[in-house]
Structure formats: C-alpha cells, structure tokens
Amino acid sequence: MTQTDHSTAFTRRLAGFAIDTPPCDLPAAALDLARLSLFDWCAVALAGVNEPAGRIVRTLVEREAGRPEATVLGLDERLPARAAALANGTLSHALDYDDTHFGHIGHPTVAVLPAALAVAEQSGATGGELLAAYLVGVEVACRLGAALGPDHYRHGFHQTATSGSFGAAAACARLLGLDVDTTSHALGLTATRASGLKSQFGTMGKPFHAGMAAANGVEASALAALGFVSRPDGIECPQGFAATHGAELREVEPPAGRYLFEAIQYKLHACCHGTHAALEALLGLRENHAIRPGQVSTVLLTTHPTWLKVCDLAQPATGLEAKFSYRLTAAMVLAGVDTAALESFSDATCARPDLVALRDRVEVVADTDVAETAARVEIALDDGRHLVAEHDLANPLPLANKQAKLQAKAQALIGAETAERLWQVIAKLELGPASALAEVLRAAGPGITR
C-alpha cells in the first residue's frame, strides 16, 4: 500500500465507481462469487430468522409498520425499505455464519445485500440490476475497508458497520439511478452516520451492526435522492470519517481486471471467522493422528495479534461468547464436537466439564509473522508425541469446491428443497425481476425451523 494524495477525490472516486461501472465491466470471477455470497446470505438469513436479536428488531419494525415496500424475513407483510434493511441485516448476522473479508476486516454481504434487496424491491429493479448493485456495493465496502486499514479496526471500530454502511449506500444509490454528484453526497452523509464498536462483540450489538449499516445505506441514498446535501468529501476531508476513526486512508488498488471482493471467505464453522484457520489445523491433526481428548496434554495456538481482541474469550459462559473463544472452540474440535452445527454453540457446551478441562489446556499466543488468515497449532500428547500443523484460509479453493461446500451448508441450515429453490433463482437472477428472490425468501422464512 502506498500513500496517495486524495485531496477531495476519494469519496467521489468511490461514487464514480459505484455509478459509472457498466455491467459488462464487472469481472466474471467476481460475479461468480457474488452469486455464491447471495446464496450463502440467503441460507444464513433464513436460518437466523428466529434468533433473538433478529426477532427483537423484526418486532420493532413490525410495530412501526409503514408503506409496504420490501420483504422482511419471517413476516408475511412487506415493510418500508429502511425497516426491511434493518431487520434483515440484523437477523442475517445473528448466527455469525456469513461471509468475511480479511482485507476489509468485516462481513460485507450482511451490510450491503439487505439494503440492496430492499431498494431493489422498492424500485422494481431487475435481478441483474440487483446483482450488479450488490457487487459494486461490496467492492466499495472492501476498497474503503482496505484503505482505512488495520488501525481503524484496532481502534475498536467494526468494519461491518462502518465500511459496510458506505457499501450499502453505494449499492442503493446505483439502484436509485443517482448520478455521481448525488452519490457523493450520499456517501458524505454516510460518513456522519456510520458507527459500530467491537466492544459489542459477544452481544446482540454485533449483529445489529449489520442492520445499522444496511439501514444507513437506504437512508443516506434516499435522502440524497431527495436533494439532501452533505460533505461530498466526507470520508477524506479534515475531521472527516478517516481522520476521526483512526485511519490514514491508504488507497489499495485491486489487480487489473479483478476486485478486492474476490478474496471473500465463507464460513464452514458456526463461529468467528478468526478462529477458523486454527480449527482447520486442529481438525487435520485430529483426523490424521486419531487424537483422543484424553491424550492431549497441552495445546499451543498461535495467531496474528489482530484476533486477540476479537476471539480470545478465555472462559466463555454463553453460546454466543463461545463463538469468540479460541480455547473453547479448540477443545470442541479435539473432543469431536461439530463446530459447523449451530446447536453446538450453547450455554450447556460452555459448562461441559470435559470441555472446560480440555479448554484449560489450550494456550493462545500472538505472532506478527503469522498471517491474519492463518494459524499454527502445536499439540503435546501424553505419549510424548509433539504434533504441529498450520492452515491459511487464503489458500485458493476452486469455485466448484466452494459451491459444493456452500450448498451442503445451506442444506444443513434450511433443508435441501429450500436450498435448491434458492440456488435456481440465484443462478438465473439476471433473467427475471429482483422480486423473484424476495418472493422465495418470503415464502421460506416462516417455515424455517431447526
């Protein structure tokens, strides 16, 4: 990354990218991954319909009611676009099982797609327009997240809520047909609206961040469309978003013909993505060496320092806290508990004596030489063996493999029939209206049970 003189251009460049990029210029690889992310989001959103955080926010927006513009998962009636974005964003992140971008350091889809889907329904957009708006929106979120850099995250800001709000606003602006000037005002308004603190991790506040971001995007773009004026350089101006949120704003250009979004990662464990590299390494050792829990003397887990403030809860007491605990999730893997299953993350799991004993044999340390997408684990066994493994989530996985894994995940979450219906709609999204996807979601939502 190199320092760039932004003057007043950075916000406008993001706006220009969001508005002026024609569909024919969207990279094919990015579009393929966008479809997978849409599919993954639908599955985790439907599975999270009845999670407490989502249910509470849905109750709030249902009480307020309003113009029937957009689908809210779990409701028969449609509600205003901003309300739908708030509810769907929150419930889709309630399980913390959605996609992650490590350059962005956040969850882009749960912030951008609920906003884009709501405005697409409101405006009568086509499926192709929804797909394009979603893709440029998540790319805006990823580019801004990368530009803000790790210092923004280390200061305590959750990029799902911060950068995600800008991505949501960009996607909505495109769907509303705004010009670059008006979109710059929408992004400037977002700069004074976006918020979200990592101190909320382990509470309902974290999934609410996604709902906040989605609602911010709908609101800012709608106000700009009505003529609301803000700082069009709100990200980079003095006392602007970057300066006040712990960032130097170092622009990161994607490789030619590629998007930063293409580094998107999908969760195959129902817990914080920061734990996944370690869990994959532990799974490999357990399976390759037939490790039994009683054999384990000590476990040394080495991760990048970034994750110590995210998923290093040493003694989790609730299922939600368990999702952010290296020590407990490591114990779960070694004990054969399925970390891909939602029901594994419960208060009862945290209290199991055998897991607590195994958890307390796990030590977590940080090393800046370990990539943020990687982990190293070392297991000492009671027979004197010392086993070591490393795993890096950034290692490429073929698209077909990703699709197969996500389809298996979706089938486990929402059932094979619903998963197949969703995939068929998403695979052919450009051929029909965006409302076709909303209709499948609305029909499936009330019937999803676990």
pLDDT confidence of residue 70: 97
Tokens in use for 137?
A: 């929106």
**What is the chain's pLDDT, residue by residue, as a tens digit (450 residues)?**
334 343 458 999 999 999 999 999 999 999 999 999 999 999 999 999 999 999 999 999 999 999 999 999 999 999 999 999 999 999 999 998 999 998 888 999 999 999 999 999 999 999 999 999 999 999 999 999 999 998 999 899 999 999 999 999 999 999 999 999 999 999 999 999 999 999 998 789 999 999 999 999 999 999 999 999 999 999 999 999 999 999 989 989 899 999 999 999 999 999 988 999 999 999 999 999 999 999 999 999 999 998 998 899 999 999 989 999 999 999 999 999 999 888 999 999 999 999 999 999 999 999 999 998 999 999 999 999 999 999 999 898 899 999 999 999 999 899 999 999 999 999 999 999 999 999 999 988 655 543
- Mean residue pLDDT of the chain comes to 94
93-147: pLDDT as tens digits: 999 899 999 888 899 999 999 999 999 999 999 999 999 999 999 999 999 999 9
Task: Kindly give the interhelix angle for 108-123 and 162-175, rounded to the nearest 10 degrees.
Answer: 20
pLDDT confidence of residue 272: 87
How far, in whole angstroms, is CA 295 from its chain's centroid? 36
Tokens in use for 115?
A: 């906003």
DSSP character at residue 398 = -
What does the alpha-carbon distance between residue 48 and residue 43 come to, in Å, rounded to a whole number? 9
The backbone torsions φ and ψ at residue 374, rounded to the nearest 5 degrees and listed phi first, read: -125, 170
pLDDT confidence of residue 448: 52
Q: What is the largest CA-CA distance in the chain?
A: 72
Q: List, in order of start, the domains of the chain with CATH numbers.
A: 10-265+399-447 (1.10.4100.10), 273-392 (3.30.1330.120)
pLDDT confidence of residue 167: 98
pLDDT confidence of residue 5: 42
Burial 265-290 (b: 16+ CB within 10 A, else e): bbbbbbbbbbbbbbbbbbbebbeeee
What does the alpha-carbon distance between residue 299 and residue 334 come to, in Å, rounded to a whole number? 10
Asked if residue 4 lies in contact with residue 157, where contact means CB atoms within 8 angstroms, the answer is no
pLDDT confidence of residue 105: 87
DSSP character at residue 227 = T
CA angle in degrees (0–180, nearest 5) for 44-153-375: 70
Which residue pairs from 176-182 have beta carbons closer than 8 angstroms and sit at least 24 positions apart in sequence? 176/119, 176/123, 176/221, 176/222, 176/225, 178/19, 178/221, 178/224, 178/225, 179/19, 180/12, 180/15, 180/16, 180/19, 180/20, 181/15, 181/232, 182/224, 182/225
What does the alpha-carbon distance between residue 289 and residue 353 come to, in Å, rounded to a whole number? 24
The backbone torsions φ and ψ at residue 32, rounded to the nearest 5 degrees and listed phi first, read: -60, -45
Residue in 99, 116, 95, 97 with CA at minimum distance from that of residue 107: 99
What does the alpha-carbon distance between residue 125 and residue 370 come to, in Å, rounded to a whole number? 44
pLDDT confidence of residue 446: 57
Residue 425 CB contacts under 8 Å (≥ 6 apart), including other chains? 432, 436, 437, 440
Tokens in use for 330?
A: 């490591």
Q: Identify any residues that bridge with 376 across adjacent strands, giving them in sequence order.
A: 302, 390
pTM here? 0.87
